[in-house]
Structure 1
């Protein structure tokens, strides 16, 4: 059941106001690989640089892993304006959910990366996180979210706190802060209101419904 749950998103596209969320396909790997050459992004995401071949292998594993749900974040304006262009040209970042606690399937760890410099500071990360949380609550049965943020990543810390996450732990070893949100009924209602504009469309092999 869990395997089916985490692969639910492989054929859907989520259309928001500022961003579009699409499944992570091989089409997106070259741009993603270029992003992750950045030492700043490696530091902020606690990632090691990979070869292009390793990045393709990682993409395949993420599509198959029962404990992960990942979307590539696209710039919605570019996506609408360039319907015939490859999605790679519209990429802004990614947003992920991890089921990290096998004893609690209602808990998801969420992370977002807006990697494209021109897309930062424009609310892309906030909308992507709201859309992913709404997806997690309505489709995956999640009721709790955690975010682990580097202590010096002030923009991300501010964003998650604005979304009602509260600090629950600090790790001096990993230099990160753990924030948590338990989705009460008022929180759920607020979340669904914040994402009431989001449209779900079919997604097949890098294509979608007309824009």
Structure 2
């Protein structure tokens, strides 16, 4: 999606940046993992296909993708973005007749960064972006039944279970963004800063949010 091609979102633990070609090799290595393939219901791609996928995600009007970076490591300026990557987050506009409906996907690919609240922070950040920039009014997530950690996280964020597919072995949860949900979401992400990606990258060490 073109809308976020020069957008950086700064949170407390993470920085979200557009999915660029430089991120593809690390992403490709992640997706060789049978565990991540299962958790994301993904088929393995070769490197060339991964580059094509990255380009299509950048161009398609119904997909909005950010790469999750470890903020502390990224802000010190000594590591390349690929070395700071810990996962990705996506919004898919699933209904061509209603752009206010969106499917949300969050992947914390690096095991060392799981269990630290990153998934919850990223989810809130992406929901806030979806609501304020894309006009999303209802979010849906589809999670494998074996992924009880993610199911529990989304329920804590007040997503409600709506169905279980025994065939696909996944649960669907959703949340409608009414005035109350919107107000709480914006309150919980009041610390989030939206920055110019290109400008910020040119001087990473000035990234300060305390």
TM bucket by the smaller chain? Answer: over 0.9
Partner of residue 12, structure 2: 17
Alignment of 1:47-196 (within 5 A): 47-81=42-76, 83-196=77-190
Structure 2 length-normalised TM: 0.94
User: 1:91, 1:116 → 2: CA distance?
Assistant: 8
Structure 1 length-normalised TM: 0.94
Give the CA deviation at 1:84: 3.9
SS at structure 1 position matched to 2:64: strand
User: 2:201, 2:3 → 1: CA distance?
Assistant: 17
Q: Which runs of 5+ in 2 are unaligned?
A: none
What do residues 176-204 of structure 1 show as CA deviations (whole Å, max 9, x unaligned)?
10000001111101000110000111012
User: 2:147, 2:202 → 1: CA distance?
Assistant: 34
Contact 1:13–1:208, Cα closer than 8 Å, also in 2: no
Query: 4+ residue runs of structure 1 moved beyond 6 angstroms?
Result: none
- CA RMSD in angstroms comes to 1.3
What do residues 75-108 of structure 1 show as CA deviations (whole Å, max 9, x unaligned)?
1111122x14210111010000000011211011
Aligned length in residues:
205
Give the CA deviation at 1:206: 9.0
Contact 1:99–1:108, Cα closer than 8 Å, also in 2: yes
